[in-house]
Amino acid sequence: MRYGYFAYELRKTSVNDISHELVGFAEVNSALQKHDTYITELRTWALDLLRKGHHEAGLFSVSYGEVVEYDELGEVLAELMLAWDGTSEFAQTP
């Protein structure tokens, strides 16, 4: 089984629709560490991705989960939302 981190930028496209654009993906070797370790490091991975990628302000959904066919997200083991101001996180969710 394959696992990885996924980051999506969420954008409102109309009154009732939101687009999910993949902005980051990193496959991890789950044989080296337990899932709990990768889940704990999810926020750190996401913030590093946003800082290094010079992403503009926005809302981001970040997940750790199973990697399925075509490197897409399958079963989600952990998820968080990040409000990003362009340089740092300005609101936290558990």
Q: How confident is the model at residue 94 (pLDDT cuts 50, 70, 90)?
A: low
DSSP sequence for 52-75: HTTPPSEEEEEEEEEEEGGGEEEE
The total of other beta-carbon atoms located within 10 Å of residue 31's CB is 7
Q: Which pLDDT belongs to residue 90?
A: 82
pLDDT tens digits for range 9-50: 999 899 899 999 999 999 999 888 999 999 999 999 999 999
Residue 88 has pLDDT above 90, yes or no: no
Q: What does R_g of the chain's alpha carbons equal in angstroms?
A: 13
